[in-house]
Amino acid sequence: MTQRLSIRPSRDLRTHYAQIAAEAREHPVAITVNGREDTVLLEHAQFMEQQQLIEDLQDRLQVYAHLAQAADDVRLGRVQPAQEAFDDIINELRSAAV
């Protein structure tokens, strides 16, 4: 997914804000200071979409980490029958409630 990126000098923000804002609604706009990219402007909805994507990827990464740990546990023989695990959990809950 290649996305168009406009590059505008920071001085344009004062004199051409409406034009830059309109560009940012279509695609990101890089603002330069002294010829170097400094800031990127993008539409609020696109920003929120990216934030949600990042959160979703972080959640997925956590699930993958748990699955990898579980696979290691099985491979290394760190397993026990389900009923024993449930009994351990119930006993821990009961002792925490007291």
**pLDDT tens per residue, range 49-82:** 999 999 999 999 999 999 999 999 999 999 999 9
Residue 7 · residue 32 · CB < 8 Å: yes
Distance separating alpha carbons of residues 45 and 22, to the nearest angstrom? 14
Whether residue 41 contacts residue 24, with contact meaning beta carbons closer than 8 Å, is answered with yes
- Residue 2: pLDDT band (50, 70, 90) is low
Q: What are the pLDDT digits (tens) for 16-57?
A: 999 999 999 999 999 999 999 999 999 999 999 999 999 999
pLDDT exceeds cutoff 90 at 3: no
The reported pLDDT for the residue numbered 87 is 96
Mean pLDDT of 79-94: 95
